[in-house]
Amino acid sequence: MAKRFFIAGTDTGVGKSLVAASLLEAANQRGLRSCGLKPLAAGAEETEQGVCNEDALLLQQHASVKLPYAQINPVLLTEPVAPHLAAAHEGRQLSAERLVGFCRGAMMTPCDLMLVEGAGGWRVPINSREMLSELPRRLELPVILVVGMRLGCLNHALLTAEAIRADGLPLAGWVANRIDPNMSCFDENLATLESLIRAPLLGVVPHQSTPDPVDAGQYLSENLELLLAN
């Protein structure tokens, strides 16, 4: 049976896609079947496959189970802004129910590890009543939290971890992604998070000027078994 997790971030731009793709690569190196979904994405560009989102393409590239793009990213909004705003600008209506339906269909794909990546942070609105956090809650997915290591990350990480638990979901683990190479007191901040987040640290991804999931996967590979054993 596939192990399934939701990839959440402490904010936008903290490296959710890099970490998700790196975990897929770590699974691939063990000979496991891996699959990644990005059910909702805001921000599109013209590619060889047509208009696509770069994060969804990254998941498609590094998964060993190759799904059609439309199944990986069924809801694509053009503007790189909050999803409810991007949808309103396009005259579209988002709903958790539709996103859940898309994900359940894709989750029938045989694989060993499936990752569902969110958009932005935990409390991102998708309409006037619902947040994107409703998606993993309805799917009952354990959460992997990506913490973008920079000034302010302690508050963002601890509040997000609290919100995940308040929504009744287990925090399977967290990843420290060093997005600011010049962050002051990095080791002390990391130690603080380790002491206060009630979940295992799955790895520390060093700053990469050009993010490389294959390289970053080695920093997460050791604790992949911890995830798969739960």
Please give the pLDDT value at position 95: 97
Most distant pair of Cα atoms in the chain: their distance:
47
Q: Which runs of consecutive H residues, i.e. helices, occur in the chain?
A: 16-29, 54-62, 69-72, 83-89, 96-106, 134-139, 153-166, 186-196, 213-217, 224-229
pLDDT digits (tens, 9 = 90+) for 27-37: 999 999 999 99
3-class DSSP state for residue 52?
Answer: strand
Count of structural domains, the chain: 1
Q: What is the pLDDT of residues 85-125, one digit of tens each?
A: 999 999 999 999 999 999 999 999 999 999 999 999 999 99
Range of the domain at 65: 3-229
Out of 3, 16, 38, 66, which one is annotated catalytic? Answer: 38
pLDDT of residue 222: 85
pLDDT one-digit tens code per residue, 185-202 = 999 999 999 999 999 999
* pLDDT value, residue 230: 67
Instruction: Answer yes or no: 38 catalytic.
Output: yes
Average pLDDT, the chain: 95
Check which CATH number belongs to the domain holding 123 and give it. Answer: 3.40.50.300
Q: Which pLDDT score is estimated for 229?
A: 79
With a cut of 90, say whether residue 49 has pLDDT above it: no
